[in-house]
Amino acid sequence: MKKYRLDLSEYKVTLKVNVRNKETNTVELKEEAQVYPLKNNLSQWLRIPGIWKDGVEICDAVDLAKQIKNCTKDSLEINEEELKLLHRTLNKLIEQKEDLTKGIMPLGGEVHEEAIRRVFRCYEEIK
Q: What is the DSSP string of 58-127?
A: HHHHHHHHHHHHH--SSEEEEEHHHHHHHHHHHHHHHHPPPBTTTTB--S-HHHHHHHHHHHHTPEEPP-
Instruction: Quote the mean pLDDT of the chain.
Output: 92
pLDDT for the residue numbered 127:
64
The rounded distance, in Å, linking the Cα atoms of 108 and 21 is 30
Which residue, among 99, 94, 98, has the nearest Cα to 115 in the 3D structure? Answer: 94
pTM: 0.85
pLDDT for the residue numbered 76:
95
The residue among 21 and 125 whose pLDDT is bigger is 21
CA triple 118-7-11, angle to 5 deg: 80
pLDDT above 80 (res 125): no
Which residue, among 83, 71, 63, 3, has the nearest Cα to 40 in the 3D structure? Answer: 71
